[in-house]
Amino acid sequence: MKGKVKWFDDVKGFGFIMIEDGTEFFVHWKSIVTVSDNDRKFLVQDENVEFDMLETDKGTQAINVVRQV
């Protein structure tokens, strides 16, 4: 699925991704995919991303988030 980062708090390590219809998905820093495990995991507001969805007891979350450069 494709979306855009609504906001991401780099200090707290979480934020939200919004898709075209306005639906928002929670994203945690651990769900961000990087080239190396040593790379810093963060997102930037309005950045385009691709992701998968995971149903949890707290709602649908974004996982396997890949930054579109």
pLDDT in tens, the chain (69 residues): 999 999 999 999 999 999 999 999 999 999 999 988 889 999 999 999 999 999 999 899 999 999 997
Residue whose token pair is 């969805």: 53
Q: What is the pLDDT of residue 36?
A: 87
Confirm whether pTM is higher than 0.75: yes
CB 47 within 8 A of CB 5: yes
Percent helix, strand, coil in the chain, to 5, is 5, 55, 40
Asked whether 30 and 42 are in contact (CB, 8 A), the reply is no
Give the architecture-level CATH label for domain 2-67: Beta Barrel (2.40)
How is the chain split into domains, by residue range?
2-67
Token reading at 11 = 């200090």
* pLDDT computed for residue 41 by the predictor: 94
10: alpha, beta or left, given left = phi > 0 and alpha = psi -120 to 50?
alpha
| Per-residue pLDDT at 2 | 97
